[in-house]
């Protein structure tokens, strides 16, 4: 029965995506654009989302500690965090920005920065905001003052959290925000200016890589291309302008409509101009939640095969959108219950996908529990071993190909003299560090980072094997 359900859904997906043949024709392996650090090196980002605990907490800060960051680094050598922030915390009253909250976020940013992480601030929302129900049992993100339900119901008897999106009150809250109703044109403006306040606070913070403008946008009663090319694009344009008025350099990460695109459907997000001087710093940051897994199947047998097919369509459609946007790709969320059969294989599959696309990724999420790297007792789930992979944290050139195995890593790149290439090597495959096939290598045992100085031009194939 369950199988029949996802086969029907996938058949619909194939039709919508334009068919298998159309989806695989004429798509490059990577979009040819990459996220870069302040030196201009290509960054391959690997990390986690913080944390579901952020959503309900009164201070909206993660229930994690500095020791948790140390542990994560020791076990997996991550260099990236998608750090959840909340509009309701940034702008608790209309036009009033909570500088104390931003100071606390800055403290977290400092902890990550001291450990070599790049931070992307993600203005998170699910289901609009905490005020969609009187008790805050569902929803996070938007402030209560921006929540206009017009007395429409939000039934709390739901089979999954996602189905709240269909509740009349939730749809109305979004319709007011996107100005579909024409009654609250001020809301999008508030949102864009809240981002300006955040960017003004973090523009000079070297640990902050950039800003993820909205988690999983939902159009309310306007959906699909009409939403993405309409009100969502309008919000992005306004927010990009506000951010760039204070911060010319931070990367701006744009998400598509989540529903459908998370499964592999095409996005209709249009191109956005970046008003900064120099090369644009706008990146495309979709999520990946293959439909068979979303519907509760494991990554095994027939559903594995279908999942792999949908991941192929996802990649092709993401690259098409990225090409239209002129943007590098960052996978902002993927994740699953790591105690289920095949879960570690899915993580492996996604890591390879990222390698092929030259894209970074943030796993959902760092919360303790079956989806996370550690369970409630702090014991590692299979995610830790699956995610602890050799990877080039920073590349002194433009990547052509990245391939990791348990005991080797090959990075092919066109050197551009932007700096040395830094490679993380996990203890499991590389107990004594690594040997580089090219250039001069220095091993930092404490950080488990091999720094390789190669020639500064021409194509280089750098192979790292255990020392
Ligand atoms: C989920 C949390 C879950 C919570 C729900 C709603 O894991 O505990 O009840 O949000 O707040 C997303 C969202 C992300 C979701 C995640 C997993 O961006 O907020 O977290 N997910 O369901 N999109 C697809 C999956």
pLDDT in tens, the chain (467 residues): 455 555 556 555 554 544 443 344 444 567 789 999 999 999 999 999 998 888 988 888 999 999 999 999 999 999 999 999 999 999 999 999 999 999 999 999 999 999 999 999 999 999 999 999 999 999 999 999 999 999 999 999 999 999 999 999 999 999 999 999 999 999 999 999 999 999 999 999 999 999 999 999 999 999 999 999 999 999 999 999 999 999 999 999 999 999 999 999 999 999 999 999 999 999 999 999 999 999 999 999 999 999 999 999 999 999 999 999 999 999 999 999 999 999 999 999 999 999 999 999 999 999 999 999 999 999 999 999 999 999 999 999 999 999 999 999 999 999 999 999 999 999 999 999 999 999 999 999 999 999 999 999 999 999 999 99
* Residue 411 neighbours by CB distance under 10 Å: 29
**What is the best residue among 126, 288, 362 to mutate for testing ligand 1's pocket, by most ligand atoms within 8 Å of CB?**
126
For ligand 1, the distance from its centroid to the CA atom of residue 444, given in whole angstroms, is: 37
Q: With DSSP H G I counted as helix, E B as strand and the rest as coil, what are the percentages for the chain, rounded to 5?
A: 35, 20, 40
Residue bearing the CA closest to ligand 1, atom 16: 364
The closest of 98, 76, 78 to 87, measured between CA atoms, is 98
Residue bearing the CA closest to ligand 1, atom 14: 126
For ligand 1, the distance from its centroid to the CA atom of residue 332, given in whole angstroms, is: 13
Q: Which helix (H) or strand (E) holds 261?
A: none
- 215: Cβ below 6 Å to ligand 1? yes
| Bond preceding residue 365 cis, omega within 30 of 0 | yes
For ligand 1, the distance from its centroid to the CA atom of residue 400, given in whole angstroms, is: 34
- 289: Cβ below 6 Å to ligand 1? yes
For ligand 1, the distance from its centroid to the CA atom of residue 61, given in whole angstroms, is: 16
The closest of 292, 288, 219, 272 to 4, measured between CA atoms, is 292
Q: How far apart are CA 236 and CA 214, in angstroms?
A: 9
What is the DSSP pairing of strand 282-284 with strand 330-334? unpaired
Burial tier of 56 (Cβ tally within 10 Å: 0-12, 13-18, 19+)? middle
Residue bearing the CA closest to ligand 1, atom 3: 52
DSSP characters for 95-157? Answer: TB--HHHHHHHHHHHHHHHHTT-EEEEEEE-BSSBGGGSTT--S-BSB-GGG---TT------
State the distance between the two ends of the chain, measured CA to CA, in whole angstroms: 52
For ligand 1, the distance from its centroid to the CA atom of residue 333, given in whole angstroms, is: 10
For ligand 1, the distance from its centroid to the CA atom of residue 324, given in whole angstroms, is: 28
371-395: buried (b, 16+ CB within 10 Å) or exposed (e) per residue? Answer: bbbbeeeeebbebbbbbbbbbbbbb
Q: Are 212 and 240 in contact (CB under 8 A)?
A: no
The number of helices, as runs of H, and strands, as runs of E, in the chain is 14, 17
Q: How far apart are CA 9 and CA 290, in angstroms?
A: 11
β-bridge partners, 411:
402, 462
Q: Are 98 and 89 in contact (CB under 8 A)?
A: yes
Ligand 1 closest atom vs CA 365: 7
Give the alpha-carbon dihedral of 207, 212, 213, 219, to 10 degrees.
-170
- 140: Cβ below 6 Å to ligand 1? yes
Rg (the chain; Cα; Å):
21
DSSP-derived 3-state class of residue 372:
coil
- 255: Cβ below 6 Å to ligand 1? no
Residue bearing the CA closest to ligand 1, atom 7: 52
* Residue 324 neighbours by CB distance under 10 Å: 14
- Tokens linked to 411: 């990075």
- 212: Cβ below 6 Å to ligand 1? no
Residue bearing the CA closest to ligand 1, atom 2: 52
């Amino acid at each position: 029965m369950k199988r029949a359900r996802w086969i029907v859904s996938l058949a619909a997906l194939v039709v919508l995506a334009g068919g298998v043949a159309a989806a695989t024709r004429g798509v490059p392996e990577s979009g040819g654009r990459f996220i870069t650090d302040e030196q201009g090196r290509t960054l391959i980002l690997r990390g986690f989302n913080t944390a579901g605990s952020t959503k309900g907490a009164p201070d909206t800060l993660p229930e994690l500690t500095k020791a948790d960051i140390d542990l994560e680094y020791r076990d997996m050598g991550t260099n990236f965090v998608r750090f959840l922030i909340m509009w309701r915390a940034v702008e608790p009253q209309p036009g009033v920005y909570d500088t104390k909250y931003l100071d606390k976020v800055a403290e977290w940013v400092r902890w990550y920065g001291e450990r070599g992480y790049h931070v992307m601030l993600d203005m998170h929302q699910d289901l609009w905001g905490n005020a969609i129900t009187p008790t805050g049992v569902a929803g996070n993100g938007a402030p209560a003052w921006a929540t206009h339900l017009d007395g429409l119901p939000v039934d709390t008897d739901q089979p999954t959290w996602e189905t709240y999106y269909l509740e009349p009150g939730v749809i109305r809250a979004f319709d007011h925000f996107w100005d579909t109703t024409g009654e609250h044109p001020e809301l999008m403006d508030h949102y864009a200016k809240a981002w300006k306040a955040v960017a003004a606070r973090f523009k000079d913070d070297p640990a902050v890589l950039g800003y993820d403008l909205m988690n999983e946008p939902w159009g309310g009663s306007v959906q699909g291309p009409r939403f993405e090319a309409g009100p969502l694009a309008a919000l992005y344009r306004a927010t990009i302008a506000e951010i760039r008025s204070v911060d010319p350099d931070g990367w701006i990460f744009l998400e598509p409509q989540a529903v459908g695109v998370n499964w592999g459907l095409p996005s209709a997000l249009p191109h956005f101009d970046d008003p900064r001087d120099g090369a644009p710093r706008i990146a495309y940051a979709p999520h990946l939640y293959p439909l068979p897994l979303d519907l509760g199947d494991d990554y095994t047998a027939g559903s594995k095969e279908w999942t792999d097919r949908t991941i192929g369509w996802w990649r092709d459609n993401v690259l098409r959108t990225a090409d239209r946007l002129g943007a590098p790709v960052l996978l902002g969320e993927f994740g699953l219950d790591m105690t289920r059969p095949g879960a570690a294989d899915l993580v492996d599959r996604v890591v390879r996908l990222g390698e092929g696309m030259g894209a970074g990724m943030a796993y959902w999420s760092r919360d303790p529990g079956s989806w996370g790297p550690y369970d409630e007792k702090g014991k590692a789930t299979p995610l830790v071993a699956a995610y602890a992979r050799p990877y080039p944290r920073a590349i002194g050139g433009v990547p052509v190909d990245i391939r990791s195995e348990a005991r080797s890593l090959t990075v092919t790149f066109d050197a551009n003299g932007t700096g040395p290439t830094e490679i993380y090597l996990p203890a499991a495959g590389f107990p004594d560090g690594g040997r580089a096939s090219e250039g001069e290598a220095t091993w930092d045992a404490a950080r488990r980072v091999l720094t390789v100085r190669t020639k500064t031009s021409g194509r280089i194939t750098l192979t790292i094997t255990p020392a």
